[in-house]
Structure 1
């Protein structure tokens, strides 16, 4: 159960599924298709979909690389949050967007697993949100040349790790897209 008062709703967060972020990502097409299915379900269930887009000197706002991938299209009226840091809450209006929607539980998808997705999960949990990671709806690029494990292992480890995340008064967990209750409560994590 969220520690945020009067926040009974859930939202689907789509983090950084942008051309320049997921272009060469592990299982890119499968993950984007899974996220598209979740977006469709969320809209049908009247669960808010919140789009997060990163920009920096390498991912310039307005450029083709900065755009959300063509398979996904934010609908009119769906919030779009612009960020400069890994944590989607840091120095953005995400908290205000979620508060305005009465959201105390976030369902997280997107990229990069080992950067912005993890940072956003932690950012949400420490700010009082219940957090659900959709285990088959996040991905990353290969960073093994810099000593990171293969992407499939990064994803598996993140899914395992987040399945055991916890904090007082909040829930966390990892669930497959087919099993996630988008509109659920903390007990459904």
Structure 2
């Protein structure tokens, strides 16, 4: 259904599941376990797994905080996209990587729900991609001290509004890990 012509394939995005991003994240262990399950499903179906890794002042490249969590393991030649902005498409080669693989449908996981997950979902959708959020495979930290709702509510709200996202010729929505199936699996 994507509006991108000649892009029938699907990719799994694993966004910013880095030590410094998820160390205090809501339901961290369950979310990482679900992401691992999805990675296994994608690999079994020969679906590209694309890793996104954020850099910032508090996540300097090469630091322990910047590294992906030990529970997840990227394999060669799975693409790794380095980014500086919330939207993984901004100033990166993500679009090129997806285009080379004829990807028009994205299954999105990772952190943080209220920042890079939302930004990338919207960035993908406005660029013509189908964008599916795995409802139990994204997380965020508690930012309620700054006026945000508790993390469980942030996640629930994001799942709610993304399940109703729509636009001509594109598919959006949410799905639980157990319900995700990749073509060829």
**Partner of 2:34 in structure 1?**
34
**What pairs up with 1:1-189 in 2 under 5 angstroms?**
1-183=1-183
Supply the distance in 2 between the matched residues of 1:183 and 1:134 (Cα, whole angstroms): 16
- Deviations along 1:94-131, whole A, 9 cap, x unmatched? 00000001100000000000000000000000000001
Supply the distance in 1 between the matched residues of 2:110 and 2:155 (Cα, whole angstroms): 12
Unaligned 5+ runs, structure 2: none
Supply the distance in 2 between the matched residues of 1:81 and 1:88 (Cα, whole angstroms): 8
- Deviations along 1:37-86, whole A, 9 cap, x unmatched? 10011001111000000001110011111111000010010000000000
Supply the distance in 1 between the matched residues of 2:169 and 2:37 (Cα, whole angstroms): 30
**Number of residues of Structure 1 aligned to a counterpart in Structure 2:** 184
Supply the distance in 1 between the matched residues of 2:85 and 2:50 (Cα, whole angstroms): 17
* 2:118 partner SS: helix
Supply the distance in 2 between the matched residues of 1:125 and 1:182 (Cα, whole angstroms): 19
**Partner of 1:187 in structure 2?**
none
How much does 1:167 deviate?
Answer: 1.2
TM-score by length of 2: 0.98
* 1:123 partner SS: helix
8 A contact 2:113–2:140 mirrored in 1: yes
Unaligned 5+ runs, structure 1: 185-189
Supply the distance in 2 between the matched residues of 1:67 and 1:135 (Cα, whole angstroms): 24
How much does 1:88 deviate?
Answer: 0.4
* 1:32 partner SS: helix
Supply the distance in 2 between the matched residues of 1:167 and 1:89 (Cα, whole angstroms): 19
8 A contact 1:54–1:84 mirrored in 2: yes
Q: CA RMSD of the aligned region, Å?
A: 0.8
